[in-house]
Structure 1
Amino acid sequence: MILDPQAERFILHFGEMGGRWGVNRTVGQIYALLFLSPEPLHAEEIAETLKISRSNVSMSLHELQSWRLVLLSHKVGDRRDYFESPKDVWEIFRRLVEEKRKREIDPTLTLLRSILMEQPEDAREEYEHQRIAAMLELIELATGWFDEVQDLPPETLQSLMKLGSKVQKVLGLVGKVRKSVKLSGDQHD
C-alpha cells in the first residue's frame, strides 16, 4: 500500500501523539493507518506500508486490541488475521473513554475511597482528608456525568457538545434566577 502525503502526515502525527497518550509511536501509527483504511489489513500489509518489523506490528496490534480500538476479522480461504478500526468515530470515542476510565479513573477512585475509610489523627491529616474528599467528589461527579451521557445517541451527544459556551450561559442564567427566587422568598418570611 502506498500512502498519499495527507495520509502520511496523519499517520506520522498520530505516532508522535502516541507518546503523549501513553502508547508508543508504532501503536499510534498503526492505529492511524487502520483508521484511514477503507478495508481491513493484515499484519504483513501494515508492516510493509509503515516499514516496521512484523514483530513490532504484532505487539502493537495486541496493545490496540487490549484498548478495544481494533476489530479482528477473517476472509474465506485466508488464514491471516485482518484488522480494522471501528468506523463510527463516536464508538471510538466511547471505547477510549471507557478504557481510560477502567485503567486510570477506577483505580484512583478505589484508592481515594480506601484512604477516606481511615480516620485522621491530627489537624494535618484532617486537612489532607478534606482535600482527598474534595478530589473524590469531583471525580465521582465527572464519572457520574459520563455514565449518564454515554448512552445518549451520537446525534444527541454531538448536539450537546456543539452547544459549548451556550450551556454555560444557560447555567449562569439559571443560577441567577435561583438566587433571585431565593432572595424574594426570604423577603416574604
Structure 2
Amino acid sequence: MQRVGSGKEAGIITAAEDDHAIVVDCTGLTITPAVVDTVALAAGRGQRSEYVATLAPGNTSDFLVLPDGLAADVPSAVATLLTRPEQVRALVAAGRPVRWSGADVPGRATAPEAGVPATGDLTGGPRIGTWTDRNGFLHQELTADGRYDETRGGRPHAYQGRYWIDGDRIDYRDDLGFWAYGEFRDDELHHAGYVMKLR
C-alpha cells in the first residue's frame, strides 16, 4: 500500500500530451492493490511478466484509492470495495478506471450475475469439463452452472467457487473469499503457474 500526501480529494486528469494517459491525484489517500498475488509475495514467481495485479512498472494494474481510515491494510481495503463501494474514491481495473468517487464510470461493463458465466449458457460448450495439468496434480472442473471444483495433489474439493469467462480470460471467486484468474490459450488453460488441457 502507498499513502500519498494529505489534504486533497482525488482527481482524475486525462493528459492528452502524454498519449492520453490517466493521471490520478491521490493526495491524502491510500493506494492499494485490488488483487493480491500471494504466490508472488512468497517469491513463487521469477519474472515480472508472471506477476498478477502488482503495481510494478510495466504491469497492467488493478488498484484501489481509498481514504486512509478505510485502508489500514490490503484485506480491509478490499473488504471496503466489497461491502461499501460508495466509499471507494477510485477503482482501476486492467489499467482503466471503472469506479470513480463512489459511482461507476459511465459506459463501464456491468458485473455478471452471481454464478452465471459472462458468456451465457455454457452447457456443452468447449470449455466445460475437467481441465488437468500435464503431471495430474491439478484437476479443475468447470460446470455449466458457473461453478468450479479443484482437486490438488489428490485432495478433492481443495478449492471451490464461481467463475466467469470473458473472451479468453477466466475469473474465479473462491468460496473462501479470494479472487484468482486464468487465461485460455488455444486448447490450454493457464492458471496459477499451471498449464492444463481439457481431458
TM-score range, shorter chain: under 0.3
TM-score normalised to structure 1 length: 0.23
Q: Normalising by the residue count of structure 2, what TM-score does the alignment of the two structures yield?
A: 0.22
Q: Which has the higher contact order (CA 8 A, sep 6+)?
A: 1
Q: Which of the pair is proportionally richer in strand?
A: 2
Structure whose residues are more often helix by fraction: 1
Structure having the higher Rg: 1
